[in-house]
Structure formats: C-alpha cells, structure tokens
Amino acid sequence: MNISITVAELETQFGLRRLSLEPDMNRAIEGGYVGYAGLALAGWLDDVTAKRLVLLGDADIGYLSMLESTVAHERLRAIFQRDISCLVLHARLRCPKMLVDEADRYHIPVLGSSLPRMALQPELIKFLRFALAPRKSVHGVMMDVCGVGTLLLGKSGIGKSECALELVKRGHRLVCDDVVLIKRIHDDKAVATAAGNVRYYMEIRGIGLIHIPSLFGVGAITDHKDVDLVVRLEEPDPERNYERLGIEQPLYNLLGVKIPLVEIPVIKGKNLSILVEAAAMNQHLRTMGINSAQIFSDELHKRLARPPTPLLFQRPG
C-alpha cells in the first residue's frame, strides 16, 4: 500500500493559496520527489511523473509567455495529462490565465506560496520525505537520553515505562510510550515519533495514565528523535553469556536501518534507568570515535606484548 497525503494537507502545512478555480484538493501526493516545470515546458516530460508535486518559478512563467499561445497550451496540457498532484508557484508569482484554464480542465490544483524558491524547495522536500517515509509501529518507549535517541524494547510488563519515567525524572526527554511510530527517512536514518493520540502520555501499572508535560513540564518531552540506540530489556537467561566487554556491538534491524543494540537482563535490585543512561552515554562516546572497551583491550594487549622487566636486585644464593 502506497503512503500518501492529500493536496489539502500540503496546503494547510505551508499556508498556500489557491490560484486555480476548480481544484480537486483530495488528489494524492506520493513519494518525496519534487518535479520541476522548466524542461517540461520545453517538451521534455521525464521529470514530471504521476502523483508528484511540480514547482513552477518566475523563469518558467517568463518562458511560457514567450511561446505562441497554441504551443503554450499544448505544453501545459501535456504536463497536466501526466496526472501530477498539483502545481506550486513560489515567491507570490502571478498565475497566467492560460495556466488556470488548463489546470481547471483536469481539476489539478495550482497553489501559490509567499516563500522564494531557495526557501520553499528544501522545506517541501523535507516535509514530503518525513510525511511519506516507509513506516512501522513497534511496542516500546522512545526516549532522548543525553541527546541519544534510545528505543526501549521488551515484553509487556518488564518495566519499560517505569524505567522511562525514572529517566524523565532524571532530566531526560520522552518522545512516546507504548506505541512508537518508526519512519525511515534515509537508508541510514530512522526517526521515531508518537502514533495516534498517545503523544506525551505514559501508562504506569497501578497508577494509570499520566501526562508527562503536566507533571514535569514541556522540557520533558520532544516531538520526534532519531533512533541512535536500541535497548532491549529481557528476563535473565542463566544459560546465556551476556556481553561483558562490549567490543563487538550487535545491531538491530529497524526498517532496513542497522541500529546499535544493547541487551540488559532485568534483575531485581538493578537500577535500570542508570544502566540505560550509561548505555546511551557510552553510545555517544562511540559516535565520537571513543570505544572504551576497545581502548581497554588495546592497552591490555600492549602490556602483554612487552618483555618482562628484569629484576634490579636478586636475592643471593
């Protein structure tokens, strides 16, 4: 199933004004690609594809005005016949009547923005990539711990929410609890945000739902965060050898993005929030090129490789 948004949603997000008279604002926009009208007006249509937004600028309108009326109408008609989602003009440009006439023939919205192209284009691409990114929902808690996006996973009742609540109390920020919506923005980047109406609420067994910003202030929440680390809380397995040094770090596959994984056994008496905080800070060091376990291992190998130091004094006979 293709992910899409409507032209009406785009209009609301960017405060665009309608320039065409009979637009179909429910037309779908699919994919984060933005097309450009320039070469299409010259007759090359490969850059204009169905279900895509197309940008039109002052140079395009200037070129359109230089064409003969019949040729201009043919070029515009060819663009709209590609079943584009909408046409967006930037920098408060005046919309030619022929453009409105051809757009209304196919009920394709023509919208105007007050932003110049250099400001509008990157914002459109950024918005579309996030809104239309591949996604999945996972059961867990997403936190911003020391600037490290930390996704807490584990079976229901193992203590994820209680751990997250302690982290919030220690000054870290909550993204969402229970249902985490993951979006893959790039091949190497996954972003987590809240799914549905559970944003900024947390369920604590025995207490019920609590509203984090009401209890701890708006500084205790954030809207979304890159997933930099996955921490899986699990019941201890006596037959398993858990990581002791941490030189080799396992990875967790999240929508095709490989995320560093830390697995912590939940044992009575352990302070999970401290352990998660330490794991996040250690991951931050790793991103800076500082691997504590590797440094320790290298130092140990250097010491073992040194020749033994001769004794200066020996006990006589």
Q: What is the pLDDT of residues 237-247, one digit of tens each?
A: 887 777 777 77
Per-residue pLDDT band for 1 (boundaries 50, 70, 90) equals low
| pTM for the predicted model, two decimal places | 0.82
Averaged pLDDT, 104-132:
93
- Give the Cα separation of 41 and 239 in Å (integer): 69
Show the domains of the chain with their CATH numbers.
Answer: 4-131 (3.40.1390.20), 135-298 (3.40.50.300)
- Residues above pLDDT 90, as percent of the chain: 71
Structure tokens at 198: 């559970």
Whether pLDDT at 222 is above 80: yes
Per-residue pLDDT band for 198 (boundaries 50, 70, 90) equals confident
The pLDDT of residue 316 is: 63
Q: What is the mean pLDDT of the chain?
A: 91
- Burial class for 267, CB neighbours closer than 10 Å (0-12, 13-18, 19+): exposed
Whether pLDDT at 92 is above 90: no
The pLDDT of residue 176 is: 95
Residue 181: helix, strand or coil by DSSP? strand
Per-residue pLDDT band for 186 (boundaries 50, 70, 90) equals confident
Question: Which one, of 276, 274, 272, 271, lies nearest residue 261 by Cα?
Answer: 276
Fill in the amino acid letter for 301.
H
Angle at 171 between CA 168 and CA 175, to 5 degrees: 45
The pLDDT of residue 315 is: 63
* Residue found under tokens 């000054």: 171
H or E element at residue 112? strand 110-112
- Percent helix / strand / coil, the chain, rounded to 5: 35, 30, 40
The pLDDT of residue 312 is: 61
Name the CA radius of gyration of the chain, rounded.
Answer: 28
- Give the Cα separation of 59 and 131 in Å (integer): 29
Structure tokens at 261: 């994984």
Question: What are the residue numbers of the active site?
Answer: 139, 160, 178, 244
Top pLDDT among 50 and 314 is at: 50
For 241-260, letters b (16+ CB in 10 Å) and e give eeeeeeeeeeebebbebebb
* Residue found under tokens 């249902």: 179
Whether pLDDT at 317 is above 80: no
- Cα-flanking dihedrals φ and ψ of residue 192, to 5°? -110, 140
Q: Strand 189-194 relative to strand 110-112: parallel, antiparallel, unpaired?
A: unpaired
Angle at 65 between CA 59 and CA 68, to 5 degrees: 135
How is residue 218 annotated by DSSP? G
Averaged pLDDT, 122-144:
93
